[in-house]
Amino acid sequence: MTRLFGTDGVRGLANKTLTASLALQLGAAAAQVLTREVHSSKRRPVAIVGRDPRVSGEMLAAALSAGMASRGVDVLRVGVLPTPAVAFLTDDYGADMGVMISASHNPMPDNGIKFFSAGGHKLPDEIEDEIEKVMSDLEEGGPTGHGIGRIIEEAPDARERYLKHLAGAARTDLTGITVVVDAANGAASDVAPAAYEAAGATVIPIHNKPNAYNINDKCGSTHIDQIQAAVREHGADLGLAHDGDADRCLAVDHEGTVVDGDQIMAILAVALKEKNDLRENTLVATVMSNLGLKLAMDREGIAMDTTQVGDRYVLAELNARNLSLGGEQSGHIIQPKYSTTGDGLLTGLSLMARMAQTESSLKELASVMTVLPQVLINVPVSDKNAILDAPAVREAITAAEEELGETGRVLLRASGTEELFRVMVEAASEDTARQVAGRLAAVVAAV
């Protein structure tokens, strides 16, 4: 049986694989699992529900809310806000669970459902598995009369609570910094410019007019060329590009050069170390982070631990060791002191705060790390789980690693969602990376 939950909640084509009836059942089952202890204490549980502006979000929010109310949960709808805002508000309102309806950087026809437990934390695999089990054996009906949950259509102070939280985390005057903000016509279209302006920055917003259909449409962090052009056009100090639910942030410097998640982590790690705020002097990244990040951290005297791909695994490591900073090359940056999940707006504020505090350009700050050329080839295969067991593949990997030595890196892994095998090579030159990756991909394809 295929698992319903993926690496970041439940995702699919809205009204096809992710239907209103599925959302109704999912809401009821999640409420039953996540509020079980609250019901036993005779207190009415509360759920926070937010969404991004894509058209299917309205339908799915209604269905999820109905499902949770049918299990005796009061639902507080906070409207269109970023995923990290919903995580924060789940904790700030003292709610028992939170739900974000978003497919992040996916195109508009898709949508997704992400759950948070009390305190605004993403669910571990075992809780997601329990929700799926309850869904398969969900009882009809539920409480009646006074036991049915209420649905409050709008939380009037949700946006202001989140903005106040961001202001408290930033605490640096950004006056004098001009920033272009690409909101991807997504959940941060209103709140991102407001947060940056409140900190003192001069903001030039682009793609901040969502109409329910244009989210991530040739804009945002997956179409970085848009903000590169805008930064050059306006002569801005930097640009910040968010995705549809604003849990990630990529940047470009004043010349329009991309500053990715690895470089952002390097900048913030050095800043935290200088203030003695980098716990255990350690940064957490994934195996997909560029080797240049590891080399930069070695040079700065900072340890770097790696996890498998996925911000949830980074977060688990951060929480397990009470660490200060982690993230992904894609721009998911997590600062547990201020957020229980990746927060693109907090990342943007932190980056600009470092610029203001050091009176440095983003280009100067990003020079702490040299990005090594990285080549990724996706190889279609018949059985992705058998590739690494093949003697020819193991021999090819050993040969490649010996050829690259300490100046490069090889990573082969199966795709988590498709019948593909990913071959990634980093080297001192792009030509070398391409040659080695090509040879490895050919061996994989022949298995």
Asked which of 366, 392, 417 is the last residue of a domain, the reply is 366
289 given a catalytic annotation: no
Asked whether residue 162 carries a pLDDT value surpassing 60, the answer given is yes
At 416, is the pLDDT very low, low, confident or very high (cuts 50, 70, 90)? low
Under 8 Å between Cβ of 256 and 228: yes
Asked which of 331, 347, 366 is the last residue of a domain, the reply is 366
For residues 135 and 274, state if they share a domain: no
Please identify which of the residues 65, 70, 102, 104 carries the catalytic annotation: 104
For residues 43 and 179, state if they share a domain: no
Asked which of 311, 346, 366 is the last residue of a domain, the reply is 366
Integer Cα distance of 79 and 100 in angstroms: 10
For residues 386 and 274, state if they share a domain: no
Task: Provide the annotated binding site for Mg(2+).
Answer: 104, 243, 245, 247
At 39, is the pLDDT very low, low, confident or very high (cuts 50, 70, 90)? low
At 417, is the pLDDT very low, low, confident or very high (cuts 50, 70, 90)? low
pLDDT at 382: 85
Instruction: For 282-297, write each residue's pLDDT tens digit.
Output: 999 999 899 999 999 9
CATH code of residue 139: 3.40.120.10
41 burial (CB, 10 Å; 0-12 / 13-18 / 19+) is exposed
For residues 348 and 401, state if they share a domain: no
Q: Which domain holds residue 138?
A: 10-155
For residues 207 and 250, state if they share a domain: yes
> First and final CA of the chain: distance in angstroms?
27
Tally of structural domains, the chain: 3
Instruction: For 49-106, write each residue's pLDDT tens digit.
Output: 999 999 999 999 999 999 999 999 999 999 999 999 999 999 999 999 999 999 999 9
Asked whether residue 312 carries a pLDDT value surpassing 80, the answer given is yes
